Amino acid sequence: MSALDPLNDEQREIRELVRTIAREKVAPRAAEIDKTAEFPWDVVEVFRENDLFGVMYDEEYGGIGESSLMTLVTIEELSKVCATSGLIIAVQELGSLGVKLAGSEEQKQRFLPKLASGEWLAAYALTEPGSGSDSAAMRTTARREGDEYVLNGGKRFITSAGIASVYVVFAKTDPAKGHPGISAFVVEADAPGFEVGRIEPKMGIKGSTTGEIFFNDCRIPAANLLGEEGGGFKIAMRILDRSRPGIGAQGLGLAQGATDYAVEYAKSRETMGKPIGEHQLIAGMLADMETKCEAARGLLYKVGQMIDEGDTGAELTKLSAMAKLFCTDVAMQVTTDAVQVLGGYGYIQEYPVERMMRDAKITQIYEGTNQIQRLVIAREMLKENRAFLLAGVG
């Protein structure tokens, strides 16, 4: 076990399986998924058959043993060839974390086995047209009526809208309050009054649906409340601490996939009598691309290990934001460089790096923009006491 590869033998076997699936089943579909912009149910079926969803769940709920590190590795390996396919795993984790972290045993038994098998896909519904980064401004409401809650409002930019069977939805049970007025619910797609709106055409990750969902006097059992009333914002933040690295893994996969492609191209394409990879300017770009990927991986895997070791609290919040920020900034820088290495070929759709560059952009935006990540990191830094480091400094 090297310092750079913290995986044990069993985890390496899983990674090999994911690599094989990525190479044989997902990579040949990637360009077509991008072109048709249709959700790849065939890829989901491959994941179901090979128990890839199981990586995120404990054995008692039908998984293969929950591991955050292995979830990140799975997303990374799939995203090297197809960011949409990597995102399917990342969103399954995002959508089920609410139940895993805040669900009662009864709720876990009800929902997790179907998510672990991949029979159901999950989604996370926090963002609204007027509240993205500012969740306290949300307008969706939930009021208690007997043994039901009645939801009204709408959500926007919801990944897997219209695809998911269950949505973890945040709504105000006390509209007069900000964060303390927010509660979390599990809403099943067949709930009366639940409706899917417009699916957005996008620049990248085209095979993943992004859309609006509406609640028109949507009735759900009171038993679908996660945790307690007013606890929704805390649940949302605990979820994001653990799901943000998944988007970091998607970014890292894109960056590494683009680097690998650019290296192979730079070995075979010749100018002035030698492969372009031997020209110093190109060689320097390739070296920087690889170094950024390796640095990003170190940070990402560290966060995965922290989550697996049960480390919660401020350090996780900070490192999780750092991993998401760094990996996704690297994704944009490296995929842009890969397009440059391929020159004119990099800009045409016959080669995958232009798709990777388009896909990379969203990783800097969703699950907390990178501007928000910087605020989170700085906020945690300012709470820390580092005065002891300066003792004796004149």
Catalytic residues: 367
Residue with tokens 């805040």: 102
CA atoms within 13 A on the CB side of 89: 38
CA atoms within 13 A on the CB side of 185: 30
Residue with tokens 């906020």: 379
Closest among 296, 285, 303, 184 to 242, alpha carbons compared: 303
Closest among 383, 241, 208, 377 to 316, alpha carbons compared: 241
> Distance (Å, rounded) from C-alpha 123 to C-alpha 194?
14
Closest among 308, 322, 360, 295 to 87, alpha carbons compared: 360
User: Which H helix or E strand runs over 286?
Assistant: helix 280-308
Beta strands in 189-344 (DSSP E): 194-199, 210-221, 225-226, 270-271, 274-275
